[in-house]
Amino acid sequence: MAYNRTRRTYHRRKICKFCADSTLKIDYKDPKTLRMFTTERGKIIPRRISGNCAKHQRMLTLAIKRARIMALLPFTTSVVR
């Protein structure tokens, strides 16, 4: 029995959002934009999923971590309010 090798091989080309849109700036003071790159639990979405380029992902993680320190973004949402 030949094992099933039909891997679904259609990649959708992922584009770095920050490269595509130069008006979009990475700023730790802007939690609205940063929230697009975190999960509902507050984790940073990895590059392989978001499609960001390495340079912008580096800037993004730094910005998210800075925003977390200033309570603009959550570290996690498991805290019961």
Partner 1 sequence: MRFYETLYLLSPELSHDDYKAVLEKFNGIIEKNGGVVIRVDEWGKKDLAYRVRKFDKGFYVLLQFCGPPGITALLERDLRLDDRVMKYQTIKLKDKADPEQLKKEFGTQEEVESEEQKDETPEGASEIAEESVEEAEHGVQ
By CB under 8 A, name the binding residues for partner 1: 23, 25, 27-31, 66, 68-75, 79, 81
CA–CA distance, 68 with 24 (Å, rounded to integer): 20
**Do 42 and 48 contact (CB within 8 A), yes or no?**
no
Output the smallest distance, CB 73 to partner 1, in A. 5
Nearer to partner 1, 1 or 79 (CB): 79
Which residue's CB is nearer to partner 1, number 14 or number 43? 43
**C-alpha 32 chain-centroid distance:** 12
Cβ partners under 8 Å of residue 11, min gap 6: none
Residue closer to partner 1, measured from CB, 4 or 78 = 78
